[in-house]
Amino acid sequence: MSTRAAASISGRTLRYAEAVAGPDGPRLRRLGAADFEMDVERAVLHDGGPAAVEAVAAALAEGLGGTEAQALVLAVHPTATTSFFTPLPVGLPADVREGQIRQETALLADLAPSQAVRVRAASVRTERRAEGDREWFHVVHVDEPVHGRLAQLADALALSAYDVADTTRAVAAAASGAGLDLVVGAYGSHTEVAVTQGGAFLFGTYGPSTAPADTAYFALAALQQAGADAGSLDRLLVYGDDATPERLGLTAEFAGATPQPLDPFAPFRRRPGADAAELAAFGPVLGVVL
């Protein structure tokens, strides 16, 4: 049975989880959270404060020490990455496809020609068109200094490998719905959105604004980019530290759906006894270990 270990960092909070795949579905082995006095998200993913990075490493070692996972996967908000979708012709040779993705990443991330371009690119859907089918890829890139800090976190667990997952794709996995779901992350710093169909990730986006009108705009724009419309929506799922009725009222009105907290524990067939909003906050990290 394979084991997965993951963490997510949002502001001053670290969340972590370990799950084991089994014949009856995934089983949670460990789950926890740690709060810090400093903004550990900024330290790990932006300015690299050594004390904060060491504190996160120590918390991970305490929470996930001895894990049998092969790698640590960190769920990262798109505000800390270069994250985008790109359509490429179906059937491109792998080296040509990878070259185009790296070139587009370098342009969007404003990288110098001499800089390394490490990316994670995953196929999310195929678009059928008369003029030729296109395969849509979701691409995630973090700066080289961030890679060094992520390696430090993995090393705290005696792991030689790590990976990065965009939170929008992670919560899409956690949503695990049968129909069309709009998943909105409302944070005090930004808005992030995922669109899923039958549990499959179709599109994700984010915006720096937290205004209710902009939150609704980002959500409906994501539906449009995914080739869907609000009339076909089955659920409006929400998570984040600012997922309030005031923030999401316009989104609910335009989507024609009642917001309900994301339940990332459903795929594990268990639900801790805590507030629904607190449980929803584990969406990114639990989506990664699925």
pLDDT in tens, 17-55: 999 998 888 999 999 999 999 999 999 999 878 999 999
Same domain membership, residue 43 and residue 155: yes
Enumerate residues 6+ apart whose C-beta is below 8 A from 63. Answer: 16, 30, 32, 34
Query: What is the C-alpha separation between 60 and 157, in angstroms, rounded?
Result: 7
Using the structure block, give the residue that is written with the tokens 């997510």.
8
Q: Is 143 helix (H, G, I), strand (E, B) or coil?
A: coil
Half-sphere exposure at residue 28, Cβ-oriented, CA atoms within 13 angstroms: 19
What range does the domain containing 134 cover?
A: 82-141
The CATH number assigned to the domain holding 234 equals 3.30.420.40
Structure tokens at 149: 């800090």
pLDDT tens across 186-211, in order? 999 999 999 999 989 999 999 999 99
Q: Where are the alpha helices (DSSP H) in the chain?
A: 40-42, 50-64, 94-108, 144-156, 167-175, 212-225, 245-255, 276-280, 283-289
Same domain membership, residue 89 and residue 63: no
pLDDT tens across 128-185, in order? 988 989 999 999 999 999 999 999 999 999 999 999 999 999 999 999 889 999 999 9
Same domain membership, residue 156 and residue 277: no
Same domain membership, residue 209 and residue 151: no
Q: How far, in whole angstroms, is CA 227 from its chain's centroid?
A: 21
DSSP label at residue 204: E
Same domain membership, residue 276 and residue 200: yes
- Read off the pLDDT band of 14 (50, 70, 90): very high
Same domain membership, residue 86 and residue 58: no
Same domain membership, residue 246 and residue 272: yes
Same domain membership, residue 192 and residue 66: no
Total count of domains within the chain: 3
Same domain membership, residue 51 and residue 123: no
Asked which of 92, 122, 141 is the last residue of a domain, the reply is 141
